Amino acid sequence: MRVLARTRISRSTEESTSIARQRELIENWAQENDHEIVAWAEDLDVSGSISPFDALELGPYLKEPLSAEWEILVAWKLDRLARNSINTHKLFAWIIEQDKTLVCISENIDLGTWVGRMVASAISGVAEGELEAIRERTKATKEKMRRDGKWFGGKPPYGYVPVKYLEGWKLEKEPEEQEVVQKIFGMALDGVSAWAIAKWLNNEKIPTATESRWRKKTQGWQGETVRQMLRNKAYLGWTTHEKSLVLDAVGNPVEKCEPSISAKDFNRIQELLRSRSNRPTGGDTSPLLGVLKCWDCGQNMHIRRQKMAGGKVNEAYYCPQEHLPHAVSGEPVKQRVYELFEQELGDHEIMEHRIISGRDTSEELAEANQAYEELSGYLSSALNKNARRLLHQQLNQISERIKNLESIPDKTVREWVSTGRRYIDEWNELNEEGKRLLMLRHEVSVRVRQLTKSSWKTPGILETEFCIPQQLKDRLQT
């Protein structure tokens, strides 16, 4: 008779009763009973909880037209077919209805006999109990590993790889991917949007995680992918579960790996993401976004683009509160802003603010405040008094830590250090987006209004004010 041979393992690394061993047992059985194996249904990395009718390799053989190609379904054990009694009985009913038979070598089950059917039903109940026990053990193991800061499988964050130690698996930084991670976070801190970062990554032909790790072609970096990375608390080096922090007994975040970003910078990025969450998506970033301010109300000017005949795009800036009588012509105001920057700052030396000595507690405070916020969120879902008592205890401990950190006198000595470069040197090396980010980094802005309406022949008359923050002014005068 024609045999459909079934093999399955839950993990491709599973050593006990491997696929090769299952094949050997089935081949020996077929040879001893003078049957012919006509097809193999081999499913790797497939859980026993999956219905046999939904299994990637086995499922098609339980439907027409492939179901007509065999008479006997043979597996090493019944749990290679299903671990759930409902799924098992569905398979039994289908086998009998189709006038086929099923054989499980290890348990000596043959559905061609009533004894075989009775034994199979009993064994399927045991298999279902084993599956539930496996689930409970797996859940408990994962919870323990989370508390210990260990990696227990799954997809590691981009920039990290799992490394095996005697005490278990840990996540470590992957040098090449970390360079990309640092570039992404750095651009985000400079005010570059997730969409623009994704565009830059694609232009630089930097492969995505799927492309570099599994050699599978994708559509490249997407803005949403970058946004998810920027919001992922795993890059703080902390253990997360369902997007929430895992805290230890005293309410501190459990460390899982070396951080890729400080809590202070991470929180700054979250503020930037929230600040642009209501903006329209898509399209290129305005070359003066965040720099150009309404003369009357001080809000950011928004850009409006209009495609003209011949493919030319006309750009104009407007106040979102409609305080200005005329839209500001895009190209003339951009040239004016560039000229003002070069005149006011071009010949000055770029200085950097560096910590020379002392203890800076700002990062520790940021971590403690974030842990407090995370823990507070659990209070509403605490179902019993004991859980609420433990949460309040942890919150009190974190609150005490915050109080102690805030009481430490700030003895930090900060100093402006020369970089050896002038603003004009860096300015001339940058494209439009780079120039915008340089102005944002130094908190430079330009107030603007257009006194007369533009025509196709003549641009309107501009009134501008180049605004330099007081701290930068003081530094330029020293």
pLDDT digits (tens, 9 = 90+) for 398-414: 788 788 877 877 665 66
In this predicted structure, what is the pLDDT of residue 411? 60
- CATH dotted code for 2-131: 3.40.50.1390
Q: Strand 302-307: give its sheet, edge to edge.
A: 302-307, 313-318, 328-329
One-letter amino acid of 94: W
Helix locations, 47-103, DSSP H: 85-97
Q: Looking at domain 170-277, which CATH architecture does it have? A: Alpha-Beta Complex (3.90)
pTM exceeds cut of 0.75: no
Q: How confident is the model at residue 334 (pLDDT cuts 50, 70, 90)?
A: very high
Lowest-confidence region among 15-24, 87-96, 106-115, 427-436: 106-115
* DSSP codes, 26-48: HHHHHHHTT-EEEEEEEESS--T
Q: What is the pLDDT of residues 269-310, one digit of tens each?
A: 887 787 665 444 444 678 898 899 999 999 999 998 888 777
Owner of token pair 């008479």: 71
Q: How confident is the model at residue 14 (pLDDT cuts 50, 70, 90)?
A: very low
